[in-house]
Amino acid sequence: MVSVQQIYECKQHLIARRMGNEVILVPVRSSVSGMSRIFTLNEVGAFIFDEINGLNSASDIARHISEAFDVDMNTAMTDLQDFLNKLFAFIHE
């Protein structure tokens, strides 16, 4: 499973641009491989991305998701882990 800390360390290699409730992520790359791939975060994904700041633990973030989007903690934790896994895969393609 991908950790919050792993994603936090990857953020330095991503350029994020907010557009309304969404965020576009573009990776800094050292080769042409995957150059055209861009990741778009929906409102929940953008929220989680902002929460990954080197200070919040996974539990903290899940609790914040639960409060902001009115979902139970189990759902929030599942959504968070799913987000971390997908973003990690995108960054390391």
Task: Give contact residues for another protein (rule: CB under 8 A).
Answer: 15, 17, 19-20, 22-24, 26-32, 35-38, 40
Which residue's CB is nearer to another protein, number 48 or number 76? 48
- Longest Cα–Cα distance of the chain, Å, equals 42
Q: What are phi and psi of 20, to 5 degrees?
A: 65, -125
Question: What minimum distance in Å lies between the beta carbon of 21 and another protein?
Answer: 9
Which residue's CB is nearer to another protein, number 14 or number 68? 14
Question: What minimum distance in Å lies between the beta carbon of 13 and another protein?
Answer: 9
Spatial contact of 93 and 37, defined as CB atoms under 8 Å apart: yes
> What one-character-per-residue DSSP string does 36-70 give?
T--EEE-HHHHHHHHH-SSS--HHHHHHHHHHHHT
Which residue's CB is nearer to another protein, number 37 or number 92? 37
Question: What minimum distance in Å lies between the beta carbon of 38 and another protein?
Answer: 5
